[in-house]
Chain A
């Protein structure tokens, strides 16, 4: 089972948080194709962004 170390998870979350809408969309598409722990972080970030927009 693939996993990130806590430091790596923190760094990936930070990159996703800082990404512009276009960049984030690219990351989303990438992780949706690839799967793994990155996809979970993308989903969390997507939810956070949707809440802000609401």
Chain B
């Protein structure tokens, strides 16, 4: 009551309240919810918020009587508390609201817990989602000055010096690490490709590199393949000499004894307690966010991978939503998730069939991201995978054979360079590796001159005469 009264009586207080109370639900009494909703609406419309404008807005909505009529609203502005305590009043409202949400979630859990028809895991996901939303709603962090942020930014640069430029989660591929500094926290990365290009294999390879090689807890949300099948594919990458198919069919000359041999070779995978796989089908973004938040809180997960975006379900069913708005909601949610949890989120994405109808090399482009252009907008980085071998194309444009290789095409990179890079790829085993490429010639790389205490960039070296001759058209 005091908060509403203060807003109506003191114009300068509105922004303080709006920065703390983002929803009308924080008010318990319905008429106060209606009044605050009117205030929020007027503010969004850039209309002055005072007694008469609030009354007029409520009249227009037909809710003036429900909100207590003009006299009641006028009385609010006469019963002011101490304006100096406004922020404390808002915090009290927030705390009481948090208690109500927790109590409601508890009741819901109890009800559903007794209901035999409910999937208990679904109940847990719903409760987790409610609590995560509550936590997000209560998080009203203020802006931070650039000066206050500088020490932590310098710290991360110092750390990067020790890690040879790596500031994120290592990708497992040197050239990709060089281009990105690793998968960056808060980044939403989309890896797109047509079926058969090795999307899931790439996802598993990057997950394995993070979790098994670099010991960074990693979570995979697999809506396409069951968890057991993913583990089988991981097994193929760990144990030399067996493809996915060999392992799936179980046709070993050595029988069970050979399986024991495979088990002994897969000890690293056996110890991978920090690689979490969730194969719940058709998760929506809220369920996924809730599960991811729990994994980050409980296990310190530092990388989240999703296979794949278009298999997630939307929350607009029955509300006139279409698939495009669903995908827009999902991609926006993935970016928000990366930012909120401060981890990289990598999601695979299907591409439209127009890639196949395209002539030439059938290389994907940003417009091929299926069902929504918002994926392209929301993603911090878009990487397309392409294997010439799949289309019977034997060589890249520069003559490099495509056999056992995969092309990573960085088509969007917020704050970074675009580019193409080729890696070794044995798709049957899901193995990816660096080719024997060398980094840029020393003269082309910037270096720190200790004497002048300056970073020096000499520029591109002139091409050799041999290269010039090769470029001649005859």
User: Which residues does A use to contact B, with CB under 8 Å?
Assistant: 2-5, 8, 11-12, 15, 26-27, 30-31, 33-38
Contacts and interface: CB of A to CB of B under 8 A. Distances in A.
B56 A11 contact: yes
Given A30-B77, A36-B48, A37-B48, A8 B53 contact: yes
B53 A34 contact: no
B4 to A, nearest CB: 14
Q: From B9, B51, B52, name the one whose CB has the most chain A CB atoms within 10 angstroms.
A: B52
A34 B50 contact: yes
17 contacts: A2-B49, A3-B48, A4-B53, A8-B48, A8-B53, A8-B56, A11-B52, A12-B56, A26-B74, A27-B52, A30-B9, A30-B77, A34-B8, A34-B9, A34-B10, A36-B11, A37-B48
Interface in B39-56: 45-53, 56
Interface in B188-217: none
A30 to B, nearest CB: 6
A30 B51 contact: yes
Nearest to B55: A15
Given A3-B46, A15-B52, A34-B9, 8 more contacts: A2-B11, A3-B47, A4-B48, A8-B47, A11-B56, A30-B77, A34-B8, A34-B50
Nearest to A26: B74
Contact of A36 (B45, B50, B56, B77): B50
Nearest to B50: A38
Contacts, number: 42
Contacts of A12: 52-53, 56
Interface of B: 8-11, 45-53, 56, 74, 77
Contacts of A35: 11
Given A30-B77, A34-B11, A4 B51 contact: no
A7 to B, nearest CB: 9
Contacts of A15: 52
A2 B48 contact: yes
Contacts of A30: 9, 51, 74, 77
Contacts of B56: 8, 11-12
Contacts of B51: 30
Contacts of A31: 50
B3 to A, nearest CB: 16
A3 B45 CA distance: 11
A38 B45 CA distance: 17
A25 to B, nearest CB: 13
Nearest to B52: A12
Q: From B8, B51, B53, name the one whose CB has the most chain A CB atoms within 10 angstroms.
A: B53
